Amino acid sequence: VNLWVLVLATAGGCYALKFAGYLVPARLLDAPQVRRLVELLPVALLAALVVVETVASGRHLEWDVPRLAGFGAGAVAVWRRAPFLAVVVIAGVVAAAVRQI
């Protein structure tokens, strides 16, 4: 029963959070300061997230070679302007290949 409460609460909470974004008045969002802030925020959040997903294992730094290789391959692919799907496949294949070695 507890799990069901968790599942339903998560579903409801996620929807409410997403819908809340649409209720913010457009005038507020078009203010130059707010615009600049929200332009940079995803960049900072995603960059930090990539680092955490790549080298963190709980509160430890973990230099997992296959994962780093996959990340590196993906980074090169992005730099070479490969299409999105190619970037994902290249990163995944390289990581999997290095892990098999």
Partner 1 sequence: VLEESRRAVVRDSLGVGLAVGAYGVAFGAASVAAGLSVLQTGLLSLRAFTGGTQFAVVGVVSGGGTLATALGGGLQRFVAAQGTIDESTAMAVARRDPAHARVAFWWTFTAIYVCWNATTLAGAVGARALGDPAKFGLDAVVPRGRVNLRIAAGAALVALALIPVTPPGVPVLAAAAAVLLAGRLR
By the rule CB under 8 A, 26 interacts with partner 1: yes
User: How far is C-alpha 52 from the chain's CA centre?
Assistant: 10
Residues 29-68 that bind partner 1 (CB under 8 A): 29-30, 34-35, 37-56, 58-61, 66-67
By the rule CB under 8 A, 20 interacts with partner 1: yes
By the rule CB under 8 A, 19 interacts with partner 1: yes
Output the 3-class SS for 30-92: CCHHHHHHHHHHHHHHHHHHHHHHHHEECCEECCCHHHHHHHHHHHHHHHCCCCHHHHHHHHH
Q: Please enumerate in sequence order all residues whose Cβ is within 8 A of that of 60, keeping only pairs 6 or more positions apart, or say none.
A: none
By the rule CB under 8 A, 80 interacts with partner 1: no
How many of the chain's residues bind partner 1 (CB under 8 A)?
A: 65
Residues that bind partner 1 (CB under 8 A): 3-4, 7, 10-11, 14-15, 17-22, 24, 26, 29-30, 34-35, 37-56, 58-61, 66-67, 69-71, 74-75, 78, 83-85, 87-89, 91-97, 99
